[in-house]
Chains A and B, each alone.
Chain A
């Protein structure tokens, strides 16, 4: 078990471009979470999956954002038509089936939109 992995670790893009991030959870974990952290702030919840079902989405997740977990394993987070305000660290976490279980975080993907 190598923990939660995220790719890429860093992404620089121009405003208006689309970007996609990937998260590979710990293999036996069926819950997967996405959080966003802007400079000087604590992370904020974006969305989470139980297996392949997306169970909750924050209002922070505008129409330009979409997340998928097609086979209940890895997940992707896509941002369309990026804006400078999307610049942030995107963190992924996974956990076992219970709501009270510890979430294990990946190293994050840092996005910079120029």
Chain B
């Protein structure tokens, strides 16, 4: 059974810092891994999707990596801004299932 774990559960940083969010998953048989952002009380915004054959994806100040063999992914945020404050969810699409398995999220607060 696929399980997704995110560390840390919460993170507070001053504006301008570079930061890394970590995600681990127990079963390497995946189609892809995705990072979402969720603002309080809101729906999900997709940030980056990495297919199982890929090692990383980049979008603006965001870079996500995938190491399928070790069951790890990281989301790197460069030069953090207060507008980056949100919960970040790591999501795995496992082979044979189709349904997404979510981590519990990392709640990020960027202080001005």
Interface majority SS (helix, strand, loop, mixed), chain B = strand
B104 to A42, Cβ gap below 8 A?
A: yes
Nearest Cβ on chain B to A45's Cβ, whole angstroms: 4
Chain B residue contacts of A110, Cβ below 8 A: 41
State whether A42 touches B44 (Cβ < 8 A).
no
CB-based contact B97/A106 at 8 Å = no
From A12-20, A68-76, A77-85, A95-103, the one touching the partner chain is: A95-103
Q: Which residues of B contact A48 (CB under 8 A)?
A: 98-99
- Which single member of B44, B46, B100 contacts A45 (CB below 8 Å)? B100
Distance (whole angstroms) from the CB of B10 to the closest CB of chain A: 10
- In A1-55, the 8 Å CB interface with B consists of 31, 33, 35, 40-45, 48
Please judge, given known A-B contacts A31-B98, A48-B99, whether A102 and B43 are in contact too, CB under 8 Å: no
Question: Chain A residues in contact with chain B, CB under 8 A?
Answer: 31, 33, 35, 40-45, 48, 56, 91, 93, 99-100, 102-108, 110
CB-CB nearest 6 A-B residue pairs:
A42-B102, A100-B31, A99-B98, A107-B43, A45-B99, A105-B44
